[in-house]
């Protein structure tokens, strides 16, 4: 392949942005949660489906918060990126704790297995993404 065709190939297939990768990851998490909750509803009962949906929401909402924090980065300095990463992680942990606490306090009839299996399935999307999102991400302030 000559250099001109390689340049044209890059222009036609630009690397994904951070925003597109975060969006893709969150959409995959939502899809997994819906599939798990639907399966519990179909093969179990509505209570299991609801519990599974609650577990999925507990996984997706903090992940969305973290993604939002990452996308706030318009400054590419390491200190700024690190600060947003730490703020996103701490917020994610606090939101997860808060959402589990609220769920166990207000929903007395939760099926623990359905809740945690959906929660864990949504978290496994991260590991699957690490193994399969092999594209190099273009990180610019406009992503």
* Residues 64-122: tens digit of each pLDDT: 999 888 887 766 778 888 888 899 899 999 999 999 999 999 998 999 999 999 999 99
- pLDDT tens sequence across 1-58: 555 555 555 545 555 677 878 888 899 999 999 999 999 999 999 999 999 999 999 9
Residue 53: inside a domain = yes
Residue 136: inside a domain = no
Greatest extent of the chain over all pairs of C-alpha atoms, in Å? 65
Is residue 143 pLDDT above 50, yes or no? no
Residue 34: inside a domain = yes
Residue 115 has a pLDDT of 96
Residue 41: inside a domain = yes
Residue 122: inside a domain = yes
User: pLDDT tier at 128 (50, 70, 90 boundaries)?
Assistant: confident
Task: Quote the number of domains for the chain.
Answer: 1
What pTM was computed for the model? 0.78
Q: Measured between alpha carbons, how far is residue 129 from residues 28, 114, 124 in Å? A: 9, 23, 9
Q: Do residues 118 and 55 lie in contact, with contact meaning Cβ atoms separated by under 8 Å?
A: yes
Give the domain range for residue 111. 17-126
Q: Do residues 55 and 124 lie in contact, with contact meaning Cβ atoms separated by under 8 Å?
A: no
Q: Do residues 73 and 100 lie in contact, with contact meaning Cβ atoms separated by under 8 Å?
A: no
């Amino acid at each position: 392949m000559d250099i001109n065709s390689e340049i044209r190939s890059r222009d036609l297939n630009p690397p994904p942005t951070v925003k597109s990768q975060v969006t893709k990851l969150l959409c995959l998490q939502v899809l997994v949660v819906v599939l798990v909750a639907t399966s519990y509803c179909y093969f179990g009962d509505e209570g299991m489906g609801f519990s599974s949906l609650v577990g999925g929401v507990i996984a997706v909402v903090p992940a969305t918060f973290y993604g939002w924090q990452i996308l706030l980065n318009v400054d590419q300095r390491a200190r700024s990126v690190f600060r947003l990463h730490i703020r996103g992680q701490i917020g994610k942990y606090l939101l997860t704790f808060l959402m589990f606490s609220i769920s166990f306090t207000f929903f007395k009839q939760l099926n623990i297995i359905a809740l945690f299996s959906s929660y864990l399935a949504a978290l496994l999307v991260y590991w699957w993404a690490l193994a399969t999102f092999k594209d190099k991400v273009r990180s610019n302030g406009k992503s």
